[in-house]
Structure 1
Amino acid sequence: MHFFLLQSLFPFLLIASFLSINVELSLCQNQQFTNCSSNITCGSVGGISYPFWGVNRPSYCGQPGFEVQCLNNFPVFNMKGASYRILQMNTTNSRTVKVARNDYWGTFCPQTFVNTTLNFSLFDYVSGYRNMTFYYQCSAPITLPSPQSCNISNTMSPVYYLTKPVTVGQTVGQAYSVSCTHEVIVPVYEEAALAIEAATVPSQTIVTNAVEGGFSLQLEIDNDECDKCLGSGGQCGLNTGTNSGFSCICANQTYASICNGTSNSSPSGGKKTGIAIGLAVGGAILFGIFVGFYFYYFIQRKKRKLAAETQSKEAPTPLTSTSVATPSTNLSQSQSIPSYPSFTSKSDYDNKASTYFGVQVFTYTELEEATENFSPAKEIGDGGFGTVYYGKLHDGRVVAVKRLYENNFKRVEQFMNEVEILTRLQHRNLVKLYGCTSKRSRELLLVYEYIPNGTVADHLHGKRVESGFLSWPVRLSIAIDTADALAYLHRNDVIHRDVKTNNILLDDDFCVKVADFGLSRLFPNDATHVSTAPQGTPGYVDPEYYQCYQLTDKSDVYSFGVVLIELLSSLQAVDTNRHRLDINLANLAVNKIQNHLVNELVDPLLGFETNVSVRRMTTAVAELAFRCLQQEKDMRPTMEEVLKGLKAVQNEDLGSENGEAVVLDIGADEVELLRNMPPPLSPDSNGTDKLVSSSTTPSSF
């Protein structure tokens, strides 16, 4: 009888097995595989793949140092202080990429004089190129061709070029010796150099074509591993566990080297294994149904008894004092934060594999070892809520560890707030959180990616000023990246509440990472503002927030307006050495703009008086900052509008028909109205000191 029942059920079991194959195949589709299967296309250039990422390719589809941005319909990446346009990528035979200097595109007068210097761990030169050298501010008589004149340090002087190597003092042709302030090497193809040398009088067009024709680079990263991965049907990507190294992203999952862990070179290898897995699962389901059938008809009573016993064993028991880790602080039970998940056993937060809001939970001991017992020599920043240390984890990752000053209730709330916000927000211009300790840990510690190039404040008026002047294009790019990050936060109902140049970090390519969400507030969807005591940094706090205790997204807009003025002027937000009325930079800026004295506000080194393009753009940004700094929040633009305006400035699409810069959709009458408004009343120095400062010293991750 039982055999007859099983035989009658067999067709249905067979159908179930095939359905399980299809389900398995669909479940095995890896979203990362789908995302990394798409190449980058920007303008007329396409086919940009691993190790590059950006635009439509997430960061796990490439490697650090290969981020691509689509600027003015050209794919651009940065390396060693210079930006490069990608003209073509070849992955068929040898993995090469054809690039050209972006700062020399359409001009021979770059903002900064930077040699073409490769990161040889990522690239190498391909044979068949020649170095072309451009010479600037030359004092000795020169008979070389000059494509055009450049405005350098407020002086117009010709720029010379040479396609053959020459040493200082060496004579070439007629009386020629190299005695110039700046020399910049730009590689060009050998054929282009020969065409220049063959011309009796080389035209500027020939030189332009040579430079914009670019040169080829050999990719020096993961070539063999990537070829094997592609051959097994996978996509090359990043090891996201360490944020470095190679991994093979396959249709079903991610492997260390190739799909399925075999040397299968067939692109369909992943599918074959998927089918095999599906068959195995189908067989397992058949076996399970048969076993279930057996138990149901023969030992049903015993099964119920076992289930009852199991249920009684698995029932949760009340927590006792022995099962809860005793915190080192004097937090009472009533002070716990019920809205956040918490660890209730010591094994939970001592286990490295544990996660908190989806990020790794570190033990205090391993972070203590990473920072050499929080050595003062490892300290890289000090803020109002904690000290930041440089550290190196066991897996080799370089990190920044923020150690909160006090482990009291307010600090726990601050700690949990930052963890929750950072883990649910992902943006290329937001600092990445790697993990944290448990909130019942001995100390509250946050572990971030390490950003090596300091803060914007460091570069404008801090300890990195001497390392190099920030040109106007770099400053404008910083403003756009920061506005992009803040607009993203606002779209996700988060107010940063402490926007300042000390919290804008820079990587080696001067890309922005906005940091320090310790003061951030999740903004209710149905609220127009949040009533809260003013917190922030003197000089950046929204005056309406200070007076009315109403925090809105426009509070961030005001603070960002101060950041824009800092980028324009290189001045600090608060400086007691200035005149009493100008101690607050926002006041100084509003007065200058209202009185049509933008020229006195802009850093003279940016070339406001000598460069028409810089004058137009800085004036437009000053007008935009002026709108951000309005006393009434309703007079300020949104961050989305600010971002749109900055991008228009970068593209020099200022909406101007008569030469006057216009930002966003603001009319001339409205600009004049704003200019003629009385200057804002700011809190005096005593009142300002009452604000809760979240940073007394620049904090760099």
Structure 2
Amino acid sequence: MNFHFAIIPILCSVLLPIAYSHEDNEQFLECNKTFNCGLIQEIGYPFWSIARPRYCGHGGLEFELICEDNQFPVININDQRFRVLNMSQPGIISIAPVDIWQNPCPQQFHNLSLTHHLCDFSTTIRNLSVFYGCPLETDIPEENRFTCAGINGNNIYAYYLDETLLRMHSSDLVDCNTSIILPVNQNELVQLLSGNDTIDDAWNKGFNVMYHKDIISCIACRNSGGVCGSNNTTLEFLCFCRDNPHPQFCQAPVLQSLSYPFWNDDRPQVCKEEGFGLTKCDEPHPVINISGKEFRLIHVNQAAYTMTIAPEDLWGNICLDNPINITLGNPFLSFSHTVRNLSFFYHCNATALMETIKIPPSPNHIFGCPQEYSFWM
């Protein structure tokens, strides 16, 4: 199993309540509001709906939510309609196909696929093959069989199999009328095959999908006091701030009246302490170079001799090609006693990982990088 591994100290931030004024930007005020649909509450970026302006989400149709009957949020992906069941995890939603909701015997049959560049199946998804219009097959376990009503009123047999059972019984199912492949969550597949759940339960619990559109940019925007949104014309990400929209984050400076040991090119040579030079000072969070590695300077408490920093290469992009451990090679610096290490695993083989570790990563720890399985612990 080939993967990259990095130990990275991560800063923590707390968002405080904001008092709004009449001078605040209209888009900032509008997009700060979320909307509800049935049991799904406080829906925000990247989603939008008739109750939330398009520019408050990612403006593409892929993230439009239709609130059917004022209680069922529905999203369209690849011209297929899905009911949204849960969106409590950042970057992950749980969805179920509308045409088989509470009905394992649909009128039309088609595989479920996610070929869109904005979203992908969660790495905990497993494929379930369902065969319809089959003769009675006694070699296939009875618990994997259910019936559907035929055209003439007679029941016809249907079977569901995971990858292992499919390899064992594929030759027994050649006389079935049709088959489809449906994704299910790993935990639900275990419940289904153990007999604790029925095929109806598996259908109705849906499966997890990761959406990876500007999630990191949105976090940076929110941390700067902004609200996430997009350009209605280009669909590019925008951070709506109190004054105006900005490409990434709000431009309110957070570092003022810095003195020794910090410096930039405007200060005399005598004021310069090696290792504390700042660049990009026109941005809200300037850059400090520590032992050859760049960090964003988030906050400085000169009275307590502490500063809060974040790795520059992770700034706005958590998916790294060549991750390295974060260390401080400056003899004048040390980590605060409140710092804890997070281990990031990149480019993992999901199948091999599931076979070699006893406890798989929590879905909350998985983050979506294109064409790879990555998580933190």
Q: TM-score range by the shorter chain?
A: 0.5 to 0.7
> Deviations 1:596-623 (Å, cap 9, x if unpaired)?
xxxxxxxxxxxxxxxxxxxxxxxxxxxx
Which position in structure 2 is the counterpart of 1:488? none
- Cα distance in 1 for residues equivalent to 2:103 and 2:221: 42
Which position in structure 2 is the counterpart of 1:195? 191
**Matching residue's letter, 2:162:** T
Question: Shift of residue 34 of structure 1?
Answer: 2.2
Q: Is the 8 A contact 2:128 2:182 kept in 1?
A: yes
Which position in structure 1 is the counterpart of 2:101? 105
How do 1:577-596 residues align onto structure 2 when only pairs under 5 Å count?
none
**Matching residue's letter, 2:30:** N
Which position in structure 2 is the counterpart of 1:85? 83
> Deviations 1:361-403 (Å, cap 9, x if unpaired)?
xxxxxxxxxxxxxxxxxxxxxxxxxxxxxxxxxxxxxxxxxxx
Task: Give RMSD over aligned pairs.
Answer: 2.9
Q: Is the 8 A contact 2:239 2:250 kept in 1?
A: yes
Which position in structure 1 is the counterpart of 2:68? 71
- Cα distance in 2 for residues equivalent to 1:48 and 1:138: 43
Q: TM-score, normalised by structure 1?
A: 0.30
Structure 1 residues 99 and 198, CA gap change in structure 2 (3 angstroms): same
Which position in structure 1 is the counterpart of 2:203? 211
List gaps (5 residues or longer) in structure 1: 1-24, 266-701
Percent identity of the aligned residues?
29
The structure whose RCO (Cα within 8 Å, separation 6+) is larger is: 2
Q: Is the 8 A contact 1:193 1:210 kept in 2?
A: yes
- Cα distance in 2 for residues equivalent to 1:185 and 1:229: 39
Match of 1:45 among 40, 48, 52: 40
Match of 1:57 among 34, 52, 69: 52
- Cα distance in 1 for residues equivalent to 2:43 and 2:151: 36
For the pair 1:249 / 2:245, whether they are aligned, the reply is no
Which position in structure 1 is the counterpart of 2:249? 258
Structure 1 residues 248 and 111, CA gap change in structure 2 (3 angstroms): farther
SS in 1 for 2:173: coil
Match of 2:126 among 123, 127, 130: 130
SS in 1 for 2:145: coil
SS in 1 for 2:198: helix
- Cα distance in 2 for residues equivalent to 1:49 and 1:105: 25
SS in 1 for 2:108: coil
- Cα distance in 2 for residues equivalent to 1:34 and 1:152: 56
Comparing both structures, which one devotes a greater share of its residues to helix? 1
Structure 1 residues 36 and 163, CA gap change in structure 2 (3 angstroms): same
- Cα distance in 2 for residues equivalent to 1:108 and 1:191: 19
Structure 1 residues 32 and 119, CA gap change in structure 2 (3 angstroms): farther
Question: Shift of residue 138 of structure 1?
Answer: 3.2
Q: Is the 8 A contact 1:97 1:218 kept in 2?
A: yes
- Cα distance in 2 for residues equivalent to 1:116 and 1:153: 28
- Cα distance in 2 for residues equivalent to 1:210 and 1:35: 38
Which position in structure 2 is the counterpart of 1:520? none
For the pair 1:158 / 2:133, whether they are aligned, the reply is no
Which position in structure 2 is the counterpart of 1:467? none
Which position in structure 2 is the counterpart of 1:354? none
When Rg is computed on C-alpha atoms for both structures, the one with the higher figure is 1
Match of 1:30 among 25, 40, 53: 25
Question: Shift of residue 79 of structure 1?
Answer: 0.8
Which position in structure 2 is the counterpart of 1:121? 117
Question: Shift of residue 165 of structure 1?
Answer: 4.9
Question: Shift of residue 77 of structure 1?
Answer: 0.4
For the pair 1:224 / 2:222, whether they are aligned, the reply is no
Question: Shift of residue 115 of structure 1?
Answer: 1.5
> Deviations 1:62-116 (Å, cap 9, x if unpaired)?
221111011141111011232112122135xx42112222222110122322222
> Deviations 1:288-327 (Å, cap 9, x if unpaired)?
xxxxxxxxxxxxxxxxxxxxxxxxxxxxxxxxxxxxxxxx
SS in 1 for 2:123: coil
Structure 1 residues 112 and 30, CA gap change in structure 2 (3 angstroms): farther
SS in 1 for 2:251: helix
- Cα distance in 1 for residues equivalent to 2:193 and 2:53: 44
Structure 1 residues 151 and 46, CA gap change in structure 2 (3 angstroms): farther
Q: Is the 8 A contact 1:140 1:177 kept in 2?
A: no
**Matching residue's letter, 1:81:** D
SS in 2 for 1:172: helix
Question: Shift of residue 182 of structure 1?
Answer: 2.6
How do 1:223-622 residues align onto structure 2 when only pairs under 5 Å count?
223-242=215-234, 244-260=235-251, 264=284
Which position in structure 2 is the counterpart of 1:695? none
- Cα distance in 1 for residues equivalent to 2:189 and 2:31: 38
**Matching residue's letter, 1:62:** G
Structure 1 residues 219 and 234, CA gap change in structure 2 (3 angstroms): same
- Cα distance in 1 for residues equivalent to 2:32 and 2:175: 52
- Cα distance in 1 for residues equivalent to 2:120 and 2:226: 26
- Cα distance in 2 for residues equivalent to 1:252 and 1:79: 35
> Deviations 1:505-563 (Å, cap 9, x if unpaired)?
xxxxxxxxxxxxxxxxxxxxxxxxxxxxxxxxxxxxxxxxxxxxxxxxxxxxxxxxxxx
Q: Is the 8 A contact 1:186 1:211 kept in 2?
A: no
SS in 2 for 1:247: strand
> Deviations 1:655-701 (Å, cap 9, x if unpaired)?
xxxxxxxxxxxxxxxxxxxxxxxxxxxxxxxxxxxxxxxxxxxxxxx
- Cα distance in 2 for residues equivalent to 1:89 and 1:70: 15
Structure 1 residues 151 and 55, CA gap change in structure 2 (3 angstroms): farther
Q: Is the 8 A contact 1:236 1:248 kept in 2?
A: yes
Question: Shift of residue 42 of structure 1?
Answer: 0.8
Question: Shift of residue 261 of structure 1?
Answer: 7.2
- Cα distance in 1 for residues equivalent to 2:250 and 2:51: 23
**Matching residue's letter, 1:68:** L
- Cα distance in 1 for residues equivalent to 2:164 and 2:236: 38
- Cα distance in 1 for residues equivalent to 2:114 and 2:252: 34
- Cα distance in 1 for residues equivalent to 2:152 and 2:251: 61
Question: Shift of residue 264 of structure 1?
Answer: 4.4
- Cα distance in 1 for residues equivalent to 2:163 and 2:137: 18
**Matching residue's letter, 1:198:** S
- Cα distance in 2 for residues equivalent to 1:158 and 1:138: 5
Structure 1 residues 237 and 155, CA gap change in structure 2 (3 angstroms): farther
